[in-house]
Every structure is written in C-alpha cells, then in structure tokens.
Structure 1
Amino acid sequence: IKGYDTHVTDGRVIYYGDTNHEVSTDAKYDQLLIAGTANKERFIEYLVTHESGQTDYYTFCQQAAQCGIAKSRIDIIEMTCTYLTSAEDPIVIEKIPV
C-alpha cells in the first residue's frame, strides 16, 4: 500500500498500491453534501479543533463537507495527509510526524 483516500461524502476508503491496484471499503455513513466552494480558513479551525480531541470523527466529516473538502489523502511514501476538494485541489497538506 502506497496510500489511501478517505471520502468525506460517505466514509468510503480506497487503498492504492503499485501498478494502480486499488481496494475499497464500503460506505460508513449516509451521503454528505460537499460544498461547492472551499473555505480553507474555516476548515483549518475545524481541523485544529478535531486534532485536539474536541470533536468526534463524524462531526469533523460534516464540518469538512461544509468547507468543501471531498476527501483526505494519506501518502505513506511522502508521509503526508492532504485534504482535497472535489476538483482534486489541495486545501491543506500536513506532514505526518514520524
């Protein structure tokens, strides 16, 4: 596995590896509507709140959707977590501590 994408819309995760091999999970919750316009500043506020343990995962997903975040991408090789819009535009890139 080289990384995985977690879809905010329904919690589905797609794992990917060499030679474009992919494996996905089932949806985890009912579909969330992703806002058409990204709100980076608000998303960062929600992210900081979530990372400090003040919100549960589903609440964070709802907040991310409201801010136009469609998925998070974990890159195991680069050790990054990138939050992306539906158009695949990166909004926030975090380095994963080793």
Structure 2
Amino acid sequence: MFTIHAIEEIHAKVKSGADFPHYIQELIELGVISYTIYVNDGHTVYSGKDNFQLTSDPKYPELHIAEESDIERLQHALTIHQQGQTNYMTFCKHSAASGVEKWTVDIKGMLCSYYDKNGKVMLTEQVPIPPQKE
C-alpha cells in the first residue's frame, strides 16, 4: 500500500493546476483510488483498496472558509489554476474564499467534487486525463 511520504514526494512536483493530470497518474500507480482535501488546513484523507486509509497532517495555518458559497468565484479560481496562473496555496485560499470546505477526487471515476460547509456539492468536474507516457 501507499504511504503519506510517497504521496508527498509526488505532490512536491506539482507547481500549478497544469501539473494535476500527471499527479493523478502517479497516484493511480501508487494505488490511491480517492482522496479528500480539507481546505481549512490542507489535511488530506487518502483511500485505497480494501478500505485502506491514511490521513496527512495539516499543511498550512488554518484558513477561514466563507459562510456563503460562491460557485462563480470557484469556477474562476479553477480556471486560472488549471491554466498554471496560481500555485496550490493560492488555489486553497481562493477555494476558502469561495466557500469550499473540502474537495474529493474520485480517481476511479476521474471526477473532482467541491463541497460547501453544508456538504452540498458546489461543482463537479472531470479530472483531465494525462497524456500517455512515451
């Protein structure tokens, strides 16, 4: 099974949202089938087969999550992040300001869903499929 250390080594290569498809591919190779990131402090719950789960430590000082969700603001934050215009921490700050409490990536279904404080899905998007390695 995978370890938090192995996942953190892969995550260290990610500089922007443009790197996300390759990050997902490497997680697949480790055996991660889904993960949930909690925006307030960046801790993540990773899941694998046979109900295997690991939880990372918080990654940054606590962020305030906006009480009201703002889907348009989230969509804008996603767009510029996926274009490589923001780094991960900036995207987390934008997500918090948009009212995102957490997001879950379903690697099997290749979907990423963003949730507000009430557990309501704000947005679900298809995870970009990485180009095949040559």
Same fold (TM over 0.5): yes
For residue 68 of structure 1, give the secondary structure of its aligned residue in structure 2. Answer: coil
Q: What SS does the corresponding residue of 2:105 show, helix, strand or coil?
A: strand
- TM-score, scaled relative to structure 2: 0.68
Q: Please give the per-residue CA displacement for 1:24-66, whole angstroms capped at 9, x wherever unaligned.
A: 0000000001011100011101110111011111111111101
Q: How many residues align?
A: 98
Deviation beyond 2 Å, 4+ runs, structure 1: 16-22
Q: Aligned to 2:97, which of 53, 58, 66?
A: 66
Higher helix share: 2
**Equivalent residue, structure 2, for 1:50:** 81
Work out the CA distance in 1 between the residues paired with 2:109 and 2:79: 22
TM-score normalised by length of structure 1? 0.90
Give 5+ residue unaligned stretches, structure 2: 1-31, 130-134
1:16 to partner: Cα distance: 2.3
Counterpart selection for 2:58 from 1, 8, 27 = 27
Q: Greater share of strand residues, 1 or 2? A: 1
Q: Which segments of 5 or more consecutive residues in structure 1 lack a partner in the other structure?
A: none
Amino acid across the alignment from 1:67? S
Root-mean-square deviation over aligned CA pairs:
1.4
Higher Cα Rg, which structure:
2
- For 1:54 and 1:33, how far apart are their aligned partners in 2? 23
- Where in structure 2 are the equivalents of 1:75-94 lying within 5 Å? 75-94=106-125
The answer for the alignment partner of 1:37 in structure 2 is: 68
Residue 2 (structure 1) shift: 2.9
